Chain A
Amino acid sequence: MKIDVTLDPALEELLVKVLSPGETEELRALLARLEEPERLTGFRGGEAVPLDPGSVLRFYGEDKEVRAQTLGGEVYTVRLRLYELEGRLDRRTFVRVSHSEIVNWKRVTDLDLSLSGTIRVTLEGGVTTYVSRRYVKKIKEVLGI
């Protein structure tokens, strides 16, 4: 495989163009690597674990750190700020629901408004959290409403 890099200041973002003589296994592997979402690293008890974003239920701020709660209920510390995570994750899947929390919208099983005006969101495994009313407009935009 030959690699040809062209620097073009006119480009606004990175553009990868792949030239191939045919649909080969090497091409498929390369495309899969390029399309693979960025891996996250979670830390727990001095151990670093690669996190698959799809398995994360929510990212939330706690004790000035950002935690990731996974489907299995494990909680890891992520060494990124919430706004950095927002920039790295798929915006249509990971939705900011409050000042201190991003939720994996594909894992939402219920959304409920109480009579006192609190919006509660239930995630897979019965994990519950709350949506800030100030973020409802943003959520609607993300969902294309």
Chain B
Amino acid sequence: MSGSEIRRAFLRRAFRGFPWGIALVYLAFVLGNAFAVPRPQGGSLLVVSENMAEAYGSPVTAALVQMLWSGLLGAALSTMEVPFLLERRTLPWSGAHFLGTAAAFSLAGWRCRWFPMWESWLALLGLLLLCYVLKWSVRFLEWQADIRAIRKSSGLDTAEPPWKSLVPYLLLAAAVELLLPPGLRLVDARDFPLLTGIFYPFLVLPLFCFFSGCSLGTRLRRWWLLYPAACASLTLPCVLGLYNYTALFQAWTAGVAALAGGLTGTALRRLKKRE
């Protein structure tokens, strides 16, 4: 794709993303109102934060400013896939795009007073990074599968360095286990942390580790055994930083789930080979 085609694709997506950004931020406020405890006074719907309305002197001006910033954020987010249109240096451009989006997000959050605490800003940035890493890893695994199929069909040796298959999985595990818990903590209830207390450790973590381990087990021999150990170790920073020692069960939950997934993947690979 030529430079001008990429520029056109970028602008087209950015224009399309602008109204989506506005809609998304207003939806977040509407949902925030719906689940707010205690309910806002007078039952009115807050579409900007009280701090922002105060800073801009009028809720209408504040809403217009927020509209502009959320539109810009939507435009930045909707161009997330543009680096994938490039044939070379996709990864550095993707990284640069993340930095740009993170800057737009931080500026929008600062101007619109979205983050009362810096921790909430950091946690949301972590979730944004998670989205980028997920997108990149999924795309990379798709490309890898294509290359493997072409190599096989062309009679070329299909064996590739094992670390090359392992890296996207490790990145994915790092993103999920290091970035997701702080993000969930941000939106979790203070009195009963359902998301970080039950949803993440008992559902997301074991399912993610099992299925990613299974996928790796179908592709790698022996080397996949490193993955359960990595999954278990990667839980530790969040266990020690966000939870406490009572959450150490997450390490073996992740390890055992990844091990079970890897064994299932190995069995599937052997079955397929026999067929």
A interface residues, Cβ below 8 angstroms from B: 98, 105, 108-113, 115-119, 130, 132-134, 136, 139-140, 143-145
Considering only CB atoms, which chain B residue lies closest to A116 in the complex?
B91
A132 touching B150 by the CB < 8 A rule?
A: no
- Would B146 and A136 count as touching, CB distance under 8 A? yes
CA distance A136 to B150 in the complex (A): 9
Which of chain B's residues has its CB closest to A132's CB?
B87
Contacts of A134 in B (CB 8 A): 1, 87
- Other-chain residue from B87, B92, B151, B160 in contact with A133 (beta carbon distance below 8 A): B87
Partner of B167 from the list A112, A115, A133 (CB cut-off 8 Å) is A115
Roughly how many angstroms separate A50 CA and B139 CA in the complex, as a whole number? 44
Q: Is B61 an interface residue (CB 8 A)?
A: no
Which residues 5-56 of B have a CB within 8 angstroms of A? Answer: none
Give the B interface residue count (CB, 8 A).
23
- B interface vs A, CB < 8 Å? 1, 84, 87-92, 139-140, 143-144, 146-147, 149-151, 153-154, 156, 160, 164, 167
Q: Is the interface of B mostly helix, strand, loop or mixed?
A: helix
Given A109-B156, A145-B153, decide whether A118 and B147 contact each other with a Cβ distance below 8 A: no
Whether the pair A116, B154 counts as a contact (CB closer than 8 A) is no
Contact of A143 among B92, B140, B153, B164 (CB under 8 A): B153
Q: Is B140 in contact with A117, judged by CB distance below 8 angstroms?
A: yes
Task: Kindly list chain B residues whose C-beta atoms are within 8 Å of the C-beta of A133.
Answer: 87, 143
Chain A contacts for B88, CB-based, 8 A: 116, 118, 130
Which residues in B have their C-beta under 8 angstroms from that of A109? Answer: 156
**Count of inter-chain pairs, beta carbons less than 8 A:** 59
Q: Give the distance in Å from the alpha carbon of A130 to the alpha carbon of B90 in the complex.
A: 14
Q: How far is the CB of A65 from chain B (nearest CB, A)?
A: 19
27 CB-based A-B contacts, threshold 8 Å: A105-B154, A108-B156, A111-B147, A112-B147, A113-B143, A113-B147, A115-B91, A115-B164, A115-B167, A117-B139, A117-B143, A118-B87, A118-B88, A118-B89, A119-B147, A130-B87, A132-B87, A133-B87, A133-B143, A136-B146, A136-B150, A140-B146, A140-B150, A140-B153, A143-B150, A145-B149, A145-B150
Whether A116 lies near B147 (C-beta < 8 A) is no
A130 to B164, CA, bound (A): 19
Asked whether B154 lies within 8 Å of A143 as measured between CB atoms, the reply is yes
How far is B167's CA from A117's CA once the two chains are assembled, in angstroms? 13
CA distance A138 to B165 in the complex (A): 24
Which A residue's beta carbon lies closest to that of B160?
A112
Q: Is the CB of A116 within 8 A of B89?
A: yes
Q: Which residues of A contact B153 (CB under 8 A)?
A: 140, 143-145
Other A-B pairs, 4, CB within 8 Å; known A136-B143, A143-B154: A112-B160, A115-B91, A119-B143, A130-B88
Chain B residues with CB under 8 Å of A139's CB are 150
The 10 A-B residue pairs with the shortest CB-CB distance in the complex, in nearest-first order: A117-B90, A116-B91, A143-B153, A113-B147, A145-B149, A136-B146, A145-B153, A132-B87, A111-B151, A118-B88
What chain A residues lie within 8 Å of B151 (beta carbons)? 111
Which of A108, A117, A130, A140 gathers most chain B CB within 10 Å? A117
Interface centre among A108, A119, A133 (most CB of B within 10 A): A133
CB distance from B200 to the nearest CB of A (A): 29
Least CB distance from A133 to B in Å reads: 6
Whether B91 pairs with A117 at a CB distance below 8 angstroms is yes
> Cβ of A113: which chain B residues have Cβ within 8 Å of it?
143-144, 147
Contact B92 A116 (CB under 8 A): yes
